[in-house]
Amino acid sequence: MTGVMVVTGGSRGIGAAVARLAATRGYRVCVNYVRAAAQADALVAEIRAAGGEAHAVQADVADEADVERLFTAVDERLGRVDVLVNNAGIDHVCAFADLAAEDLDRVLAVNVRGPMLCARAAMWRMSTARGGAGGVIVNVSSISALYGGLPRDVVYAASKGALDAFTMGLAREVASEGVRVCGVRPGLTYTEMWESDIGAEAAARMAATGVPLGRIGRPEEVAAGVLWLASAEASYVTGEMVNVSGGRELNVRSG
């Protein structure tokens, strides 16, 4: 399936890799961002230079008015959305007992409320019961949802656990409306989030001993999983979470 794809948090990391790959597959891509305007604009320019079509749209996915403005802009510039990739997410690393309520609220707002608001806006446009032609929603979760996350990172893990439950529940609810809902769970993947949290070298050391494949993943590898779930090749897949983790969950589950 090709058409119009919205990638939230699309200016860098996994989101940017998804947007690049989608453009090569013929999608018209909306690159959503909050603050990284220069990176989003550079990515759009890169896609256009390669012959693709893309637009950058600033919006905070945790804000209802911003979400509606985002999807209205997509309607006007690219056409009605066919695929939504809920990739936007943030982290806040600290001991749970020291967590400020406002930091808790922000993580849950972006990582849980945001995907829900975006999925609702997409459903208004995709659902065959509402005049749409169907579509796909792919939620970017995390392997941490399976084991509670690293120490000092339990709120992020909890937010991704909520996203997993939402993925499964929504998939069941909207299957009869022509919409598939799936997710990917990245493991240790080199992104700016990991760089700011523990650093690339520490992540690489962790991967060497904690990932069966022995290395940290690349955003492009996660993007390939996202694009497969969005494609006609996955037309009989819904409600599933695909682990793109080098097998990390095998180790964390076994202790």
Q: What is the pLDDT of residues 50-96, one digit of tens each?
A: 999 999 999 999 999 999 999 999 999 999 999 999 999 999 999 99
User: For residues 24 and 155, what is the distance between their CA atoms, to the nearest angstrom?
Assistant: 35
Q: What is the pLDDT of residues 94-145, one digit of tens each?
A: 999 999 999 999 999 999 999 999 999 999 999 999 999 999 999 999 999 9
pLDDT tops 80 at residue 194: no
Look at the block and give the residue holding tokens 């494949």: 213
Q: Is the pTM of this model over 0.75?
A: yes
134: which strand partners? Answer: none
pLDDT band at 206 (very low <50, low <70, confident <90, very high): confident
Burial class (CB in 10 A: 0-12, 13-18, 19+), 99: middle
Residue 49 and residue 25 in contact, taking contact as beta carbons nearer than 8 Å: no
User: For residues 10 and 59, what is the distance between their CA atoms, to the nearest angstrom?
Assistant: 11
Question: What is the percent of the chain where pLDDT is above 90?
Answer: 88
Q: What is the pLDDT of residues 164-176, one digit of tens each?
A: 999 999 999 999 9
- pLDDT score at 255: 47
The residue type at 195: E
How many folded domains does the chain comprise?
A: 1
pLDDT tops 60 at residue 18: yes
Q: What is the pLDDT of residues 6-16, one digit of tens each?
A: 999 999 999 99
Enzyme catalytic residues: 156
Q: For residue 187, give its domain range.
A: 4-254
53: which strand partners? Answer: 28
CATH number of 249's domain? 3.40.50.720
pLDDT tops 70 at residue 226: yes
